[in-house]
Amino acid sequence: MEEEEVQYDVVTCRHCDGAGCLYCGKKGTVEVRHPARLCPKCNGECCIYCGYTGWDKPRGKYE
């Protein structure tokens, strides 16, 4: 049984608008599962469910 490879999109961190912050690792961008969608819990306003990035399903540090 083969595992399907997960694809990620690179998007601008909504917490810092690309300036770089703690939540995006000071890069200004985050990787999120394709297709990129705003967080449904906060509508892109940043909350604990999106790791304060504003995006749905951000890639974890340890993946």
Percent of residues, the chain, with pLDDT higher than 70: 92
Cis? peptide before 40, omega within 30° of 0:
no
With bands split at pLDDT 50, 70 and 90, how would you rate the model's confidence at 46? very high
Query: What are the pLDDT digits (tens) for 1-11?
Result: 567 788 999 99
Of 5 and 39, the one with more pLDDT: 39
Asked whether 14 and 55 are in contact (CB, 8 A), the reply is yes
